[in-house]
Amino acid sequence: MEDQTPTTETPAGLPSEAQVLEALKIVKDPEIPVNVVDLGLIYGVDVAPSGAVDITMTLTSVGCPVQDLIRADAEMAVGRLDGVTDVNVEFVWTPPWGPDKMTEDGKRQMRMFGFNV
C-alpha cells in the first residue's frame, strides 16, 4: 500500500488527508469485515481549498455488487468532517487491488475472520 502520510499542509479549517482516511475507516465492504483503508482500497485523497474532497479508490473486484453502497458510505463519512463542502468518490481499476495492498492491521483482521492472507 502506498504511504498515506500527507505531503502538503492543509489550509486552516479543512480536514487533513489523515483525518479523511480516519473517517473512511468506518466504511466497510459488506462482504469483507475490514474497512476500506485497511483493505488498501484507497489510492488517493485530495482536499481542495474549497473544501471539496476527491477520493480515488478501487474495490476488491470490478463487478463488486456493493459499489454504490460503498460510495454512499464514503461520501457520508467524509462529508461529516468540518470544512468539507463536497465529496467525490472515483473508482479506478488500475492498478488492480490485491491482498498485498492491505495494511498489516487489515491482514490481521482478515486472519481473525478466517481468511488466509
Map out the domains of the chain with their CATH numbers: 17-98 (3.30.300.130)
Task: Give the ranges where 1-117 is alpha helix by DSSP (H).
Answer: 17-24, 67-79, 104-112
From CA 95, how far away is CA 105, in angstroms rounded? 21
Confidence of residue 8 (pLDDT cuts 50, 70, 90): low
Residue 29: its pLDDT value, please? 85
**49-82 per-position pLDDT tens digit:** 999 999 999 999 988 899 999 999 999 999 999 9
Mean pLDDT, rounded, for 23-48:
95
Whole-structure pTM value: 0.87
Across the range 38-52, mean pLDDT stands at 97
Burial (Cβ within 10 Å: 0-12, 13-18, ≥19) of residue 83: middle
Mean pLDDT to the nearest integer, 36-45: 97
What pLDDT is attached to residue 48? 97
